[in-house]
């Protein structure tokens, strides 16, 4: 009986095995017809597994595994964590490949003179943070463009170092919960928009518009600061790649991007910039502190690679540099270098030269009324860098350079140039006796006062108080200001001497008449 029972059991096992084999073959064929291959079938199963875990389903133990795993030969299934750890608050502005702390910790041997420490140095795998970067405390939804060009939330970029360091250059100003950008810069004394128009004028572009009728479109702004130059180019249908390193000027590029202006962290060091050859119509450097002569001019050769044929390199520096022997030497060597590179100087303008031309024009307009000894005490009511006074150094006069209290604080530079001056608010009276100046030079002073809401009549009376009888006032301002002033000439006992249009400004010269009060009426009073 045992023997027969074993035989029956064997037959049953064989039958079951055959059925199981047929079923598996059928399943294999079915999957193949449905998904095309075994590989795609397993991929679909894997995808389904991932989807379940992405929504928090599946085995919790699996969810703790690393999300960087992919399917291997042993068909290990990748998993996605339910959450990532949050980085320490100290890393709210982490730039992994531009982290100076990492450079110090890894003891990288870099040539600081070649700016290697500002180039990219990415951390090894074991030094990566692998955590979420938190926003700074008090972060707000950014202000929208175009309003963001002029102001951002201070909480989003809680750094005011530049506002204090560049307070005399109008880069940025802290006002309550916001940081505002007046459009100034190291060399944009009257705003980036006027600087851009002046550049277009130098190059003889039509209507002083920098895009030159659509011929100029892309700009590389090297050492861009907070990118006001690039920001104001946008209204002329010109787009700039604003470039600056992650250096001691805290977060320049972060400010630019928060404002909604194209910008990129980078430096001209030992590596080529990550842009194709012949990409830009204009490269711009405004006091960008780059040694263009280093290593045989290799950095200028990099600009040559990036500029399109017929492109421009605009290089500007403060006016005081024109008097410095070292800067004059650099300019001479740069001029010789670019000549060897087959570049040619399209236009050059020295501000000390600009004002010399303007002063000569003033004297021509005044010539019917003045002799060599007519003028002695002069005042420049908005002196800026003292260029008006510097242009008069060969005449037997002296100039009181007045720096507006609410404008760029350039008085130290004026004294460095061997000139004198004082800070003053023209909404108030100046500290001088009546009738003490022979000539007042008022360049956009009335426009400034009007913008601040101060009384233009009070300013006219103050100017009359300071001016000697037969003295002169040179007003350089917009046409609407001149039209306004003409209404007061009779009441002030002033008379017009000359008027002339100069670009978008009007030169208007008046003379104070010598007059005496009616003594009989004064005695009666």
Q: Write phi, then psi, for 461 (nearest 5 degrees).
A: -65, -35
pLDDT digits (tens, 9 = 90+) for 132-153: 999 999 999 999 999 999 999 9
Backbone angles phi, psi at 140, to 5 degrees: -125, 160
- pLDDT reading at 175 higher than 50: yes
Residue 496: CB atoms within 10 A of its CB come to 13
Assign 59 to helix, strand or coil.
coil
| Nearest of 20, 81, 74 to residue 42 by alpha carbon | 74
Which two three-digit tokens encode residue 359?
């002063």
Q: Is the pLDDT of residue 47 over 90?
A: no
Q: What is the pLDDT of residue 40?
A: 34
* Residue 199: pLDDT over 80: yes
Average pLDDT over residues 409-433: 89
Mean pLDDT for 48-55 is: 32
Tokens matching residue 197 = 């128009």
State mean pLDDT over 347-374: 86
Among candidate residues 474, 478, 472, the one with its CA nearest the CA of residue 511: 472
Find the mean pLDDT for residues 28-38.
Answer: 41
- 174 vs 9 pLDDT, higher one: 174
- Beta-carbon contacts of 194 under 8 Å, excluding residues fewer than 6 positions away, are 188
Report the C-alpha gap between 41 and 48 in whole angstroms: 11
Write the DSSP symbol of residue 176. T
Q: What is the pLDDT of residue 355?
A: 85
CA 153, 155, 156, 160 torsion-angle sign:
positive
Nearest-angstrom CA–CA distance, 265 and 98: 9
468: Cβ contacts below 8 Å, ≥ 6 apart: 377, 435, 436, 437, 438, 512
The Cα–Cα gap between 232 and 316 comes to 17
241 phi/psi in degrees, rounded to 5? -90, 100
In this predicted model, what pLDDT tens digit does every residue of 382-399 receive, in sequence order?
A: 998 899 999 998 899 999
The pLDDT of residue 189 is 64
| Structure confidence by residue, pLDDT tens digits, 444-471 | 999 988 888 889 999 999 999 999 999 9
86-128 tens-digit pLDDT = 999 888 888 899 888 888 888 888 998 898 998 999 999 888 8
Residue 31 exposure: Cα atoms within 13 Å on the Cβ side: 14
Beta bridge partners of 443: 476
CB atoms under 10 Å from CB of 467, counted, come to: 24
222-264: per-residue pLDDT in tens? 988 888 999 999 999 999 999 998 876 668 889 999 999 999 9
């Amino acid at each position: 009986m045992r023997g027969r029972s074993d035989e029956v059991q064997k037959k049953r096992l064989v039958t079951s095995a055959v059925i199981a084999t047929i079923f598996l073959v059928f399943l294999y064929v079915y999957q193949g017809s449905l998904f095309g291959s075994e590989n795609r079938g397993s991929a679909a199963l894997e995808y389904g597994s991932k989807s379940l875990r992405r929504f928090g389903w599946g085995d919790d133990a699996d969810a703790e595994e690393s999300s960087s795993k992919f399917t291997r030969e042993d068909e290990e299934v990748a998993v996605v964590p339910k959450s990532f750890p949050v980085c320490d608050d100290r890393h709210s502005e982490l730039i992994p490949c531009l982290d100076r702390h990492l450079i110090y910790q890894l003891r990288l041997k870099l040539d600081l003179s070649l700016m290697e420490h500002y180039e990219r140095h990415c951390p090894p795998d074991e030094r990566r943070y692998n955590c979420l970067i938190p926003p700074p405390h008090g972060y707000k939804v950014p202000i929208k463009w175009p309003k963001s060009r002029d102001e951002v939330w201070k909480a989003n970029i809680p750094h005011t170092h530049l506002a204090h360091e560049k307070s005399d250059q109008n880069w940025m100003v802290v006002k309550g919960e916001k940081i505002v950008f007046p459009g100034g810069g190291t060399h944009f004394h009257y705003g980036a928009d006027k600087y851009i128009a002046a550049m277009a004028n130098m190059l003889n572009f039509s209507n002083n518009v920098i895009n030159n009728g659509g011929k100029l479109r892309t700009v590389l702004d090297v050492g861009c600061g907070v990118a006001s130059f690039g920001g104001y180019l946008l209204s002329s249908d010109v787009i700039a790649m604003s470039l600056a390193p992650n250096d001691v000027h805290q977060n320049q590029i972060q400010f630019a991007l928060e404002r909604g202006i194209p910008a990129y962290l980078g430096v001209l060091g030992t590596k080529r910039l990550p842009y194709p050859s012949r990409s830009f119509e204009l490269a711009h450097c405004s006091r960008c502190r780059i040694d263009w002569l280093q290593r045989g001019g290799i950095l200028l050769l990099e600009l040559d690679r990036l500029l399109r044929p017929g492109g421009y390199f605009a290089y500007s520096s403060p006016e005081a540099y024109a008097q410095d022997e070292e800067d004059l030497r650099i300019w001479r060597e740069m001029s010789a270098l670019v000549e060897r590179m087959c570049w040619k100087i399209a236009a050059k303008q020295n501000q000390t030269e600009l004002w010399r031309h303007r002063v000569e024009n003033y004297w021509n307009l005044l010539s019917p009324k003045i002799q060599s000894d007519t003028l002695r005490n002069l005042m420049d009511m908005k002196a800026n860098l003292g260029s008006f006074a510097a242009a008069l150094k060969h005449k037997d006069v002296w100039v009181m350079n007045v720096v507006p209290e609410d404008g760029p604080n350039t008085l130290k530079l004026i004294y460095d140039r061997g000139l004198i001056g004082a800070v003053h608010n023209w909404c108030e009276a100046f500290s001088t006796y009546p009738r003490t100046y022979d000539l007042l030079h008022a360049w956009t002073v009335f426009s400034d006062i009007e913008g601040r809401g101060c009384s233009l009549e009070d300013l006219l009376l103050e100017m009359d108080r300071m001016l000697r009888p037969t003295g002169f006032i040179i007003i350089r301002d917009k046409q609407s200001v001149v039209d306004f002033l003409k209404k007061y000439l009779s009441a002030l006992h002033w008379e017009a001497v000359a008027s002339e249009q100069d670009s978008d400004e009007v030169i208007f010269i008046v003379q104070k008449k010598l007059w005496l009060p009616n003594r009989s009426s004064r005695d009666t009073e």
